[in-house]
Structure 1
Amino acid sequence: MGGSQREPDPDHLNRTALGWTPLDARTGSRCPRWLRHCYTSLLIHHASWRQDRPSHGSTSACPASLPEDAGSANGAGPVKLEIIAGDLELVATLRDTAAARDLLDQFPLTLSMRDHGGVAKTGSLPDAFSLADDPDGAAPDVADLGYYAPSNDLVLYYGDQSYYDGIVILGRLQGDAGALAEMDGELNVQVRRLVP
């Protein structure tokens, strides 16, 4: 019929429908847009996490890159707690989650804590926390402040704990969390909010 119209390339249509793009001039990749976006987001998140996250075994401040960090609902900044176990004093920076707010509602607290598996000190809390905005479980790092939902325990992590259902990260500990490993037997631990 005299026209120069080409039949559409079915492979091109399939690639386009799935988000594939022709060779990207910037990156030189033939990668779906959604995958490039995910990969870029992952790299950005990983870079900020690595920059802000303390090295393994460190007990420095809570990383500012976590979206749940930064504290109180009134915008006054992060909520900090004082935790006293014998001669050891720790400061915790809370994440802004329903579970962390439920912890604040129970203050001041004096808990009887005991060692758990050579990685943490745990103590029973008076009331359970809401888990509305937390995942089903977590893999806490050394110096994380946590909550173990199945037994309603506040947890001070001083060792390496793998992922477990029911673990909720409430915040980060500052100070010598590793010193908790040397404390044997039952500990009376006081937990209260630090007032700026």
Structure 2
Amino acid sequence: MPTEISTKQAESMNINIKVKDKVVTATLIDSKTTQDFISLLPLTLTLEDYARTEKISYLPKRLSTKDAPPGSDPAVGDIAYYSPWGNLAMYYSDSGYANGLVILGKIDGGIEAFNVPGSVKVTIELVQSQ
């Protein structure tokens, strides 16, 4: 069932990404695109390798890019939404600037869980604050 968030929750939005037997945490930034992404959680996706740089998966619906920058230059550990394709991307290697790329947040640690050959099945859940 989708999660509704309040303005207070949006100040600190953390997610857990379950990869096999490991849980990787990430911190999301507060934006309209991120709030739209959170409304889809919990979400189970199969991330496919793309260009030996990132793991990507198409989302069940396109996210809002209202007030988003025209593009971004992702860093290792960034979680992003690529609006031209409608996919989520998790960067495990450095990449260059891309038009339509909206950074959603950053993986706190354990990015090596994504730097593996082939696809990776993940479950992404919002961390409920205590």
Alignment correspondent of 1:118: 52
Q: Does 1:108 align with 2:42?
A: yes
Answering whether residue 89 of structure 2 is matched by residue 155 of structure 1, we say yes
State percent identity of aligned pairs.
33
- Contact kept in structure 2, 1:89 and 1:175, CA below 8 Å: no
TM normalised by structure 2 equals 0.88
Larger Cα-atom Rg = 1
The aligned residue for residue 14 of structure 1 is none
Equivalents in 1 of 2:92, 2:20: separation in Å?
A: 16
- 2:122 aligns to what? 189
What's 1:178 paired with? 112
Residue from 100, 105, 121 that aligns with 1:166: 100
4+ runs deviating over 3 angstroms: none
TM-score, structure 1 normalization: 0.60
Please name the residue that 1:143 is paired with: 77
The residue correspondences of 1:25-174 to structure 2 (distance < 5 A) are 73-74=7-8, 77-174=11-108
The RMSD of aligned alpha carbons is 1.7
Name the CA shift for 1:180/1:139 in 2 (closer, same or farther; >3 Å).
Answer: same
Taking a change above 3 Å as real, the CA distance of residues 136 and 176 of structure 1, as seen in their structure-2 partners, is same
Contact 2:78 2:107 in 1 (8 A): yes
**What displacement does 1:178 show?**
2.7
Q: 1:76 to 1:98 in 2, by over 3 A?
A: closer
1:81-133: CA deviation from partner (whole Å, max 9, x where unpaired)? 00112233211111110000000111110001111111110011001111111
Query: Any idea what the Cα deviations from partners look like across 1:10-59, whole Å, max 9, x if unmatched?
Result: xxxxxxxxxxxxxxxxxxxxxxxxxxxxxxxxxxxxxxxxxxxxxxxxxx
The answer to whether the Cα contact below 8 Å between 1:120 and 1:155 also exists between their aligned partners in 2 is: yes
